Amino acid sequence: MLELKHLSYGVSDGGGKTDILRDLSLTLEDGRLMVITGPNGGGKSTLARLVMGIDQPDAGQILFDGQDITGLGVTQRARLGIGYAFQNPPRFKGLTVHRLLSLAHGGDLPADQCCDYLTKVGLCSADYLDREVDSSLSGGEVKRIEIATLMARRLKLAIYDEPEAGIDLWSFNMLVDTFKNMLRPGGPSVIIISHQERIMELADELTVIADGRVRETGPRDEILPRLMGELTDFCSFGRQTMTEGRRYGQ
């Protein structure tokens, strides 16, 4: 179980400190999928980085399976079974896709298993095993390969930061199916940061973060209809404003 207790985090901007997260608390039970959504700049990606240990909170606690991991670094948290897929994944010149998946797995991974992971993220596996994870790959390809590396690990908690970013519609459909398959007894807990309705529909729980705080959190069936209603109202207001602007020559 993941427990976030009263997390706060800010960055110095020359004229003082800007708060990114403010006294934020959340709980994710084992084997559950939580989708975190909300306005851009609200603190979603920062929260994911704090859970992975990339950044350290200014205040508060992070508990994982009852252990206080607040002071642990990335490597220590990875050893506990926490994995993170970056919004903009790194590249590794000289490292093949096959080798990267094997490293993620913790030992040599047979080609057929590598192909299975790559197929699940929408890549034609035979064409990628011997390719290097370098600038010859597009951003979307690197993104999908990184997601495959998380699948190759034996994780207790997998964190995906906007996995749909930079990939085509066909690959997105494959990813949705992959996330569906994660929802099985004994599977990892999953956090996905996303604005996509189809991904939100997969969630056990939805959390909305805005202005560094949890605006609301709860079961998908309670939160999602309200979110979609707000989006509809916003779009209707936008269309009305544009119409009035044209009417008055704005």
Q: Assign 138 a pLDDT band (cuts: 50, 70, 90).
A: confident
Q: What rounded mean pLDDT belongs to the chain?
A: 86
Its CATH architecture, for the domain 2-242, is 3-Layer(aba) Sandwich (3.40)
Q: What is the pairing mode between strands 157-161 and 82-85? A: parallel
Q: What is the mean pLDDT of residues 184-212?
A: 90
Q: What is the mean pLDDT of residues 117-144?
A: 85
- pTM for the model stands at 0.84
Segment 155-194, tens digit of pLDDT: 999 999 988 877 778 778 877 887 887 777 777 899 999 9
Q: What is the mean pLDDT of residues 183-209?
A: 89
The torsion angles phi and psi of 167, rounded to 5 degrees, stand at -115, 155
Q: Where are the domains of the chain?
A: 2-242
Q: Collapsing DSSP states into helix, strand and coil, what is residue 15?
A: coil
Segment 77-95, tens digit of pLDDT: 999 999 998 877 888 889 9
Q: Are 65 and 155 in contact (CB under 8 A)?
A: no
